[in-house]
């Protein structure tokens, strides 16, 4: 009887996690994610095309042949158990790449296996190395199976740090991330109805999953781990729409779930927003931000709901960041039901993020530099066009324990952070923090506990409420 009772509890819990939803959410949240998946059941075994599961040599061509054959009428590409060394793979419409448990696709260390293609990297359109897994200009694609895709990224991490060590004394910190071309683990670009679910993704050379210029994409049940290198973001949504991110377990070395929309002059030229994004039931561990907005905000970020997520030991929690030259906006954001334990900085807002990275300046007398350097140095004029507008943000039903500084918020003298509402918040941390250059912030049933009992410092702001503060 007890066993049956336990089974019922487990079943209810699983169902609750799968269906986490609030009835008063915007209706568009029900429209996010892939609308269809490949239906063909025909199997195309990569092994029958010559793929080797003993990690003995490159299987890139063999796996690609299987994908190309499956694409002719639709089908499922499968693998026998083993470890497959591969370079860039390009999925096609109506193909299901099934990487089952016991199967690992490992990224080749041969840079020639990753052709340079037009893409966008950190907000700038340019040619860069292809990803390990690429979904370009495709429809109705699925990647699943419970297996592992291992970017084998240490080579790319080391490449970045070597270049940055060379560049920083020259005043080129801002160029390091772009010039050190690193292999992303997965890029979904200019595609629709793509599902990535139940996969272990690890050791990416750069960003792990980038959804670029795409719509109706689902990432569900991904485990992202072992990302020790710089800029190993978890899931980046980049000028895309109607995206669902749910049930993921993310541990990495930079932003965990991040929304982006282009950088500076180039991002303003492209002018494509990230919008209609639903983020729910994710567990975030190590990394730069549980949910980050920016710093690439040029095309705008809007219509975002984050529901019932959890952060454990993350550097920052709800993270809004932009710079004086980004422009764009972040608006109509709802973060509800977030629990944070040991998150150092739970609530952060800045319009002047990381100046040594954010502002590009070509040293005087330097010549023969890449074309995109010139693009990055094109001024945004008038100056006010470069100010991002953070506006209409709601953060509610939040529990915070073990924080360092609860609030870190700083707008600009000429661009205040506007219309932010905190409701039903309990937060415990070492210090309350500060709010500067803000306007029309509401604190409704917001209770904080700090070591000294001191409340948040509010300065150079207009109509900003303070929470109720007490001593721990």
What pLDDT is attached to residue 124?
98
At residue 149, does pLDDT exceed 50?
yes
Residue 136 pairs in a beta bridge with 189
pLDDT at residue 266 tops 70:
yes
Q: Which of 172, 233, 209, 231 is nearest to 366 (CA)?
A: 172
> How far from chain centre, in Å, is Cα 457?
31
Q: pLDDT tens digits, residue range 419-459? A: 999 999 999 999 999 999 999 999 999 999 999 999 999 99
Domains of the chain: 32-249 (2.160.20.10), 254-472 (2.160.20.10)
Question: Residue length, the chain?
Answer: 472
pLDDT, tens digit, 9 for 90 and up, residues 331-342: 999 999 999 999
DSSP codes joined into one string, 245-296: EES-EE--SSEEEEEE---HHHHHHH---EEEEEEES-EE-SSSEEEEE-S-
pLDDT for position 21? 65
Helix spans in 144-198 (H): 154-167, 173-179
Q: Is residue 259 classed as helix, strand or coil in its secondary structure?
A: strand
Share of the chain above pLDDT 90, in %: 94
Whether pLDDT at 3 is above 50 = no
194: Cβ contacts below 8 Å, ≥ 6 apart? 34, 135, 138, 140, 141, 142, 143, 188, 214, 216, 217, 218
pLDDT digits (tens, 9 = 90+) for 63-91: 999 999 999 999 999 999 999 999 999 99
Mean pLDDT value across the chain:
95
The conformation of residue 28, written as its DSSP 8-state character, comes to G
Mean per-residue pLDDT for 163-178?
Answer: 96
pLDDT band at 10 (very low <50, low <70, confident <90, very high): very low
Average confidence (pLDDT) over 261-277: 98
Answer whether residue 311 shows pLDDT above 50.
yes
pLDDT in tens, 389-428: 999 999 999 999 999 999 999 999 999 999 999 999 999 9
Q: What is the 3-state secondary structure (H, E, C) of 70-102?
A: HHHHCEEEECCCEEEEECCEEECCCEEEECECC
Closest CA to 412 of 462, 360, 350, 330: 350
Look at residues 437, 391, 433 and name the one whose alpha carbon lies nearest to residue 412: 437
Q: What is the pLDDT of residue 380?
A: 98
Model confidence at 122, in pLDDT bands (50, 70, 90)?
Answer: very high
Band of pLDDT at residue 23, cut at 50, 70 and 90: confident
Beta bridge partners of 422: 395, 443
pLDDT above 70 as % of the chain: 96
Has residue 379 got a pLDDT over 50?
yes
Bridge-based pairing of strands 339-341 and 316-321 is: unpaired
My answer on whether omega of the bond before 234 falls inside 30° of 0, hence cis, is no
Give the Cβ contact number of residue 399 at 10 Å. 16
Examine residue 69 and say whether the peptide bond preceding it is cis (omega within 30 degrees of 0): no
More confident residue, 4 or 252: 252
20 pLDDT exceeds 80? no
| For residue 260, pLDDT beyond 60 | yes
Residue 15 has pLDDT above 70, yes or no: no
- 470 C-beta neighbours (distance < 10 Å), count: 12
Q: Note the pLDDT of residue 11.
A: 36
Residue 278: per-residue pLDDT: 98
3-state secondary structure (DSSP) of residue 472:
coil
d(CA 229, CA 43): 36
Residue 353 gets which letter from DSSP? -
Residue 404 CA to its chain's centroid (Å): 24
Indicate if the pLDDT at residue 14 is higher than 50: no
- When pLDDT is averaged across residues 265-290 and rounded to a whole number, the result is 98
Beta bridge partners of 330: 301, 390
Q: How confident is the model at residue 22 (pLDDT cuts 50, 70, 90)?
A: confident
Six-digit token pair at 216?
């109706």
Phi, psi (5° rounding) for residue 107? -70, 130
Q: Which residues of 170-207 are buried (b: 16+ CB within 10 A; e: fewer)?
A: eebbbbbbbbbbbbbbbbbbebbbbbbbbbbbbbbbbb
Asked if pLDDT for residue 19 goes beyond 90, the answer is no
């Amino acid at each position: 009887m007890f066993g049956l009772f336990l089974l019922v509890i487990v079943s209810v819990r699983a169902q609750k996690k799968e269906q986490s939803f609030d009835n008063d959410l915007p209706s568009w949240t029900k429209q996010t994610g892939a609308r269809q998946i490949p239906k063909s059941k025909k199997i195309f075994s990569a092994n029958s095309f010559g793929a080797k599961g003993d990690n003995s040599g490159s299987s890139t061509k063999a796996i690609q042949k299987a994908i190309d054959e499956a694409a002719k009428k639709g089908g499922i590409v499968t693998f026998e158990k083993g470890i497959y060394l591969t370079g860039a793979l390009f999925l096609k419409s109506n193909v299901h790449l099934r990487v089952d448990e016991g199967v690992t696709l490992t990224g080749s260390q041969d840079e020639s296996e990753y052709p340079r293609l037009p893409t966008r990297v950190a907000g700038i359109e340019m040619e860069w190395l292809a990803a390990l897994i690429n979904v370009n200009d495709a429809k109705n694609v699925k990647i699943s199976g419970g297996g592992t895709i291992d970017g084998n990224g240490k080579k790319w991490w080391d490449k970045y740090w070597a270049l940055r060590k060379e560049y920083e004394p020259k005043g080129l910190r801002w160029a390091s991330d772009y010039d050190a071309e690193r292999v992303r683990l997965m890029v979904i670009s200019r595609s629709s109805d793509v599902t990535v679910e139940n996969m272990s993704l690890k050791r990416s050379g750069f960003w792990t999953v980038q959804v670029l210029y795409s719509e109706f994409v689902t990432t569900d049940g991904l485990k992202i781990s072992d990302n020790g290198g710089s800029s190993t973001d978890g899931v980046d949504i980049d000028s895309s729409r109607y995206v669902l991110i749910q049930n993921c377990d993310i541990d990495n070395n930079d932003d965990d779930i991040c929304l982006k929309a282009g950088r500076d002059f180039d991002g303003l030229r492209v002018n494509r927003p990230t919008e209609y994004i639903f983020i729910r039931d994710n567990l975030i561990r190590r990394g730069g931000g549980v949910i980050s907005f920016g710093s690439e905000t040029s095309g705008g970020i809007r219509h975002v709901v984050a529901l019932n997520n959890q952060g454990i030991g993350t550097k920052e929690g709800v993270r809004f960041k932009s710079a004086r030259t980004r422009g764009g906006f972040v608006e109509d954001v709802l973060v509800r039901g977030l629990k944070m334990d040991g998150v150092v900085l739970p609530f952060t807002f800045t319009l002047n993020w990381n100046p040594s990275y954010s502002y590009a300046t070509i040293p005087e007398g330097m010549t023969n530099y890449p074309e995109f350097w010139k693009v990055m140095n094109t001024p945004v004029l008038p100056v006010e066009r470069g100010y991002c507008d953070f506006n209409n943000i709601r953060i509610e039903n939040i529990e915070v324990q073990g924080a360092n500084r609860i609030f870190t918020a700083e707008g600009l003298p000429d661009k205040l952070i506007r219309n932010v509402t905190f409701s039903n918040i309990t937060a415990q941390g070492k210090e309350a923090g500060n709010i500067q250059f803000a306007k029309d912030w509401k604190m409704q049933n917001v209770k904080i506990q700090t070591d000294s009992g001191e409340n948040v410092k509010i300065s150079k702001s207009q109509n900003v409420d303070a929470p109720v503060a007490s001593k721990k």
